[in-house]
Amino acid sequence: MNFIDRKAAFEREKSTGDSVVLTFVGVDGFDVYNCSIPFSWNGKDYIYGRVERRREWARSWVRLFEKTAPDTFTLVPDSMIYQLEDPYISVIGDELVMGGTHVRMDRGEIDTFYGYFYRGSDLEDLRYFTTGPNLMKDIRLVQLEKGLGVFSRPRNEEIQRKYGSASIVGFSVIPDLESLSADVVENAPIVSGLFDQGEWGGCNQCYRLDSGLIGVIGHKCYAAPGTDGVQLNVYVNISFVMDPKNNTVIDEKIIATRSSYPDAPAKKPELADCAFTSGIVLRADGKADLYSGLGDTAEGRVVIDNPFAGFGQIVTP
């Protein structure tokens, strides 16, 4: 069954649970979307969010929000402002690593973009320390028992010609954060079997499992005809398990689609079926809260079964 048919079958089964759109306080006039997963730091719960006006594009900032009520996050006053898109976090040792996409402009037009990485133990003083390869998004890190796992996501015309898909995923292991560089990411060995002809996607949040495997929450995308002649960019929440010994994928599956979440506007008509994955947070009842950006205007949460059940328990850093 191809991926489009798998998505249709998933939506017919309606296998996801309760869902909400998150509320963000302190940023009137701006949308908050494509967030990091919520995380705890020094006894408080936070989330990083991409903040942008509805009418603007590629002019966003990443801000820190504190959880102040269920599914409600309030802007941390005077917190650092990052000129980034689509933030994500990893806990590496005793440090928090926050990454995002920095878009470089030239005379008002997008010139290129890079992954920027910040690190530290004080959320008010994260230090910019390295940059990913030119024109690469969705670089993700995961603390392993020994070393640091690095997932890449090359996407260019050469990839399209060689693999048929618009993007691929690579994976490499390095000793520590000091070893993270653009060259390491660029040359990560390929993880095969994720994307077919015309598809693209990447990793969004990665988890070390006590079995030695790695659980990955990601996104898979394709173009499809919509109504009124609009071509949709369809983004779907997926998960898979990876064996780092041989870079093979196990149990790749859909865990939610845009229809799994409540209604919210889309920034552009072509993003009406877009759910850009953030990641999961395990719940006390054994299920998981899955977080996702919605149509580039909002962030949603939906309850799902633990996607890694049967493959090991998530190891908390």
Q: Residue 21 pLDDT more than 80?
A: yes
pLDDT at residue 317 in the model: 80
Question: Which superfamily is assigned to 3-304 in CATH?
Answer: Glycosyl hydrolase domain; family 43 (2.115.10.20)
pLDDT at residue 173 in the model: 98
pLDDT at residue 252 in the model: 97
| Average pLDDT for 137-145 | 97
Q: Residue 14 pLDDT more than 80?
A: no
Q: Residue 92 pLDDT more than 90?
A: yes
Tell me the domain boundaries of the chain. 3-304
Distance (Å, rounded) from C-alpha 294 to C-alpha 227? 19
Q: Residue 151 pLDDT more than 90?
A: yes
pLDDT at residue 76 in the model: 98
Distance (Å, rounded) from C-alpha 144 to C-alpha 170? 16
Q: Residue 16 pLDDT more than 80?
A: no
127 is written with which tokens? 């230090």
Residue 240 φ then ψ, to 5°? -155, 165
3-17, 46-60, 181-195: least confident range: 3-17
Which residues have CB under 8 Å from 87's CB, separation 6+? 34, 35, 36, 48, 49, 50, 62, 98, 99, 100
Per-residue pLDDT band at 227 (split at 50, 70, 90): confident
Per-residue pLDDT band at 228 (split at 50, 70, 90): confident
| Average pLDDT for 75-101 | 97
Distance (Å, rounded) from C-alpha 253 to C-alpha 245? 21
φ/ψ region of 279 (left if φ > 0, alpha if ψ in -120 to 50, else beta) reads: left
Question: What is the b/e burial string over 108-128, where b = at least 16 CB atoms within 10 angstroms of the residue's CB?
Answer: eeeeebbbbbbbeeebeebee
- Contact between 115 and 100 (Cβ < 8 Å): yes
Question: Position of tokens 């000129």?
Answer: 83
pLDDT at residue 60 in the model: 97
Q: For the chain, how far is it from start to end, CA to CA, in angstroms?
A: 37
pLDDT at residue 69 in the model: 98
Q: What is the mean pLDDT of the chain?
A: 96
Distance (Å, rounded) from C-alpha 48 to C-alpha 86? 9
| Average pLDDT for 123-130 | 97
| Average pLDDT for 39-51 | 97
% of the chain surpassing 90 pLDDT:
93
221 is written with which tokens? 């995308």
pTM: 0.97
